[in-house]
Structure 1
Amino acid sequence: MAQFRYIVDDVDAAIAFYQGKFGFTLEEQYGPAMAILSKDDLQLWVAGPPASASKPMPDGRKPEPGGWGRIVILVDDLDAMVASMTESGVTFRNQIVEGPGGRQILCDDPSGNAVELFEPS
């Protein structure tokens, strides 16, 4: 099983987003500090401000949400998923783009972390 960690602003908001939008299951929660969610062969660890993963580095840099690293969620009907998520207020970074392997779009979770929705060809 692969594990992936996102730094988030609010662990409860992250849990609601990943459960509600993508069907992740909450495995464990450590208050506002951290939660572990799973879907298929992926564990997503979300670390809030109190988590050790959110502590500043020795040089002063502070881990924060955002950036371009992302998990990829495979979907069967990208248009329907985008319509549903748009209706519920999810923010998208771009429009649907097509490539040799399929179609994709990037949305933001509640903390601004990228999530790629991908519909294979």
Structure 2
Amino acid sequence: MARLAHITLVVRDYDEALAFYVGKLGFNLVEDTDQPEQDKRWVVIRPPGAGPHTTTILLARAATPEQVARVGDQAGGRVAFFLSTDDFERDHARFTAAGVTWVRPPVDQPYGRVAMFADLYGNLWDLIGPAPVGASAG
């Protein structure tokens, strides 16, 4: 059986990315291994509470002009990442207290409660929680 192991997120700097994703969003650092022969690090994170078989995010430092141009524009201005939570209000409040920039306020959709935020580079993320009790499935 195949599964998606990692997705790559192109970043400007490993440490500033870790400060945001681990420090502000509460992601877990899975691995941070120096690879001096390639002048890079293997930096892997995952959302808090995610199990060992969850798809992880590989933070890849931009090393060429083409890669630098992609920092903050992983999906051409569309939402690039969807972060699911079992408690929307808790995580929305925690992210707000940590200084996360909200692009769209929370709204109720048939699939759940959702709010859009930008990461430190401008990539767009949706925080998605369960649909409120009594919400119509549309």
Normalising by the smaller structure, the TM-score range is 0.7 to 0.9
Aligned to 1:25: 29
Is the radius of gyration larger for structure 1 or structure 2? 2
Q: Could you report, residue by residue, the CA deviation over 1:61-88 in whole angstroms, capped at 9, with x for unpaired residues? A: 9323133242222112212222221122
With structure 2 as the length reference, what TM-score do the two structures score? 0.67
Counterpart of 1:7, as a letter, is V
Aligned length: 115
* Alpha-carbon distance in 1 for matches of 2:70, 2:7: 15
Higher deviation after alignment, 63-72 or 110-119: 63-72
Q: State how far apart, in whole Å, the 1-side matches of 2:89 and 2:97 are.
A: 12
Does residue 16 in structure 1 map to residue 19 in structure 2?
yes
Structure 1 29/16 Cα, relative in aligned 2: closer, same or farther at 3 Å? Answer: farther
Contiguous gaps of at least 5 residues in structure 2: 132-138
- Partner of 1:5 in structure 2? 8
Q: Which residue of 1 aligns with 2:125?
A: 115
Given that 1:8 and 1:64 are in contact with CA atoms closer than 8 Å, whether structure 2 keeps it comes out as: yes
What is the identity, as a one-letter code, of the residue corresponding to 1:16?
A
Displacement of 1:17 after TM fit? Answer: 2.4
Distance in structure 1 (CA, Å) of the matches to 2:124 and 2:40: 20
Identity %: 23
Q: What amino acid is the match of 1:9?
A: R
Distance 1:36 1:96, change over 3 A: same
Q: Is the 8 A contact 2:87 2:130 kept in 1?
A: no
Query: Aligned partners of 1:95 and 1:44: how far apart in 2?
Result: 25
Give the TM-score, by structure 1 length. 0.75
Q: 2:80 is matched with which residue: 70, 75, 79?
A: 70
SS at match of 1:117: strand
- Cross-structure match for 1:37: 45
Runs of 5+ consecutive residues of structure 1 not aligned to the other structure: none
Opposite residue 110 of structure 1, the aligned amino acid is L
